[in-house]
Structure 1
Amino acid sequence: MSDDTASDETGQIPTNLRLLMLLEEVARAGVPVTPSAINEVLCLPKPTIHRLFHTAEAEGFLQRDLDGRSYSPGRRLRRFAVATLSSERVRAVQLAILRRVAEEIGETCNIATPDRDGMFYLDRVETHWPLRIQLPIGTRVPFHCTASGKMYLSSLRQDYLNRFLKNYKLTPVTSKSITDAAKLKAELAQTRERGYSTDNEEFMDGMVAIALPIRDMQGRLLSTLSVHAPLQRHDLASLTQKLDVLIAGSAELSDTLCS
């Protein structure tokens, strides 16, 4: 059992904490996990661990993976995580950082988090320019043709990325959307190497964007910081000149989640 695992004086996990700690370990793993793998940490009776997984799945906190044996966070647990990140204390700090980044760059900046079907816009600060692109909080955008989505895809382990590309339809949204899996994999490799992703009119005609990762305590991508701008003010080359501001902002946002 890990050092930070709570237990009572007998060394056993209290009944009212077992499900919470199970969900914590699943989230900590970062990849689909089996009940037996989780129980190596929790050390509960085998019938108990399977009952807890069954309950969490039935209530939507966990969902079964494609192999039928592994589990990952379900919709309710993902919504819980988003609500936690959106709490007033955390959000106030995030907005202050996001507002400063947007003001320094002079364009709209966003924080987005991966959801099951695409990237979910968690927060944003609008540019002061009258000409702006409307993508409000709560908007969901595709993975393959957005800067935030490609940043997320680049963080996936190779076997999970291959599985994703095998089952995900690369639907063109504009004439510049990447619809070939090999070309997308090549761009994701480039994204991993340089540390940021781009959208060159792939999601919306006349719009370019750049995204960087916001990481958790274990260095895993939790969300993204992105900026987008109309071509009337920036092309992709000029927007990348703002990278230093974005890098500093993503590092500071990561720090707020690790403190």
Structure 2
Amino acid sequence: MSDNKPRLIQSVKRALDIINCFDSLNVQLSLSEISEKLNLNISTVYGILNTLCAYSYIDKNPHNGKYKLGLEFLLKANLVSQSLDLKEIGHPFLTELTKKYHETSHLYVYQNEQIFCVDKVESPSTYFIISSRAGSKLPMHASASGKVFLASMPEEELQTFLKKYKLTKLTDKTITDKRQLMKNLQQIRELGYGIENEEIEEGAYSIAAPVKDAAGRTIGTISMVGSISRIKENEEPIRTDLLKAASVISCQFGYQFKTN
């Protein structure tokens, strides 16, 4: 009879066990110390450590040969912290926008070549699948927020991304031609916001504005989605309010907007 326990991958478990050996009292550990702590063969520990080092999750001190946690943990921690901060700062804006326009508002972040919803305030009248729950993701090439993130990428990073990304057709209006997508991304750079016009779901229309950090990098988007008829009826004020909210949130992250 099954006990419903999840099947654990031994190699992954061992890697995590190694990572968990490090704490405030054990900032650096030698190969033999880790081996003894886990009662694992030195050659096994050495192989896993080499793999973790290759991905910067573990660093080896060249002076004493001991191991410590790598910078990748700091980068990932910053992403988590950034997402939490964005949600805390941005939520009141989502609430106000949804209350004003009776449409669903979202905050999205970009991680691991995908965009994820970290917060939303939903309109009681919404019925679109695109109005996703927190933690879900949207296609980069078809969503307003996804295209805003693509438009903000350095050219080399963008080309590398598009080489391995499939422009999947979701509706008759989904952009599946790379040249057309590049033209759309240039328009987003010039306008300062992105639009999704029935590219994911028929009848749905979305506008997204970028949230930037002190270095000018796009770290998130604030967006609104609803029926194409309702959004277009109020498109100019919605766009204005989204851009204003994005600018205020960006200032909280240290971004300084240029003034003429």
Question: Would the TM-score normalized by the shorter structure come out above 0.5?
Answer: yes
TM-score by length of 1: 0.66
State which structure, 1 or 2, has the greater radius of gyration over its C-alpha atoms.
2
SS in 1 for 2:211: strand
Stretches of structure 2 that go unaligned for 5 or more consecutive residues are 1-26, 28-48, 60-70, 256-260
Q: Are 2:94 and 1:110 aligned? A: no
Which residue of 102, 117, 122 maps to 1:126?
Answer: 122
CA contact 2:141–2:167 (8 Å) conserved in 1: yes
Deviation string, structure 1 residues 202-232 (Cα, Å, up to 9, x no partner): 0111111011100001111011111111235
Distance in 2 between residues matched to 1:246 and 1:54, nearest whole Å: 42
Offset of residue 105 of structure 1: 2.9
- Code of the residue aligned with 1:119 in structure 2: it is I
SS in 1 for 2:117: strand
Q: Are 2:181 and 1:198 aligned? A: no
Stretches of structure 1 that go unaligned for 5 or more consecutive residues are 1-15, 17-50, 62-72
Offset of residue 57 of structure 1: 1.6
Which shifted more, 91-100 or 143-152?
91-100
Distance in 1 between residues matched to 2:213 and 2:124, nearest whole Å: 31
Could you say if the C-alpha distance between residues 244 and 105 of structure 1 is closer, same or farther in structure 2, counting changes exceeding 3 Å? same
Offset of residue 78 of structure 1: 6.4
CA contact 1:117–1:142 (8 Å) conserved in 2: no
Deviation string, structure 1 residues 13-54 (Cα, Å, up to 9, x no partner): xxx6xxxxxxxxxxxxxxxxxxxxxxxxxxxxxxxxxx9996
Q: Are 2:183 and 1:186 aligned? A: yes
- Code of the residue aligned with 1:153 in structure 2: it is L
Distance in 1 between residues matched to 2:176 and 2:74, nearest whole Å: 31
Q: How does 1:77-116 map to 2 (within 5 A)?
A: 80-87=77-84, 91-116=87-112
Percent identity between the two aligned chains: 28
Distance in 2 between residues matched to 1:130 and 1:182, nearest whole Å: 33
TM-score by length of 2: 0.66
RMSD of aligned alpha carbons: 3.2
Which consecutive aligned stretches of 4+ in structure 1 deviate over 4 angstroms post-superposition? 51-54, 76-79, 130-133
Find the counterpart in structure 1 of residue 55 from structure 2. Answer: 57
- Code of the residue aligned with 1:179 in structure 2: it is T
Find the counterpart in structure 2 of residue 8 from structure 1. Answer: none
Offset of residue 247 of structure 1: 1.1
Offset of residue 161 of structure 1: 1.6
Find the counterpart in structure 2 of residue 150 from structure 1. Answer: 147
Offset of residue 130 of structure 1: 5.5
Which residue of 210, 224, 227 maps to 1:227?
Answer: 224
Find the counterpart in structure 1 of residue 243 from structure 2. Answer: 247
Distance in 1 between residues matched to 2:230 and 2:201, nearest whole Å: 15
CA contact 2:206–2:223 (8 Å) conserved in 1: yes
Distance in 2 between residues matched to 1:225 and 1:242, nearest whole Å: 11
CA contact 1:101–1:249 (8 Å) conserved in 2: no
SS in 2 for 1:258: coil
CA contact 1:212–1:246 (8 Å) conserved in 2: yes
Distance in 1 between residues matched to 2:221 and 2:150, nearest whole Å: 11
Which shifted more, 131-140 or 107-116?
131-140
CA contact 2:104–2:126 (8 Å) conserved in 1: no
CA contact 1:105–1:245 (8 Å) conserved in 2: no
Q: How many residues align?
A: 198
Could you say if the C-alpha distance between residues 110 and 79 of structure 1 is closer, same or farther in structure 2, counting changes exceeding 3 Å? farther
Q: Are 2:217 and 1:216 aligned? A: no
Offset of residue 132 of structure 1: 5.2
- Code of the residue aligned with 1:230 in structure 2: it is S
Could you say if the C-alpha distance between residues 181 and 91 of structure 1 is closer, same or farther in structure 2, counting changes exceeding 3 Å? closer
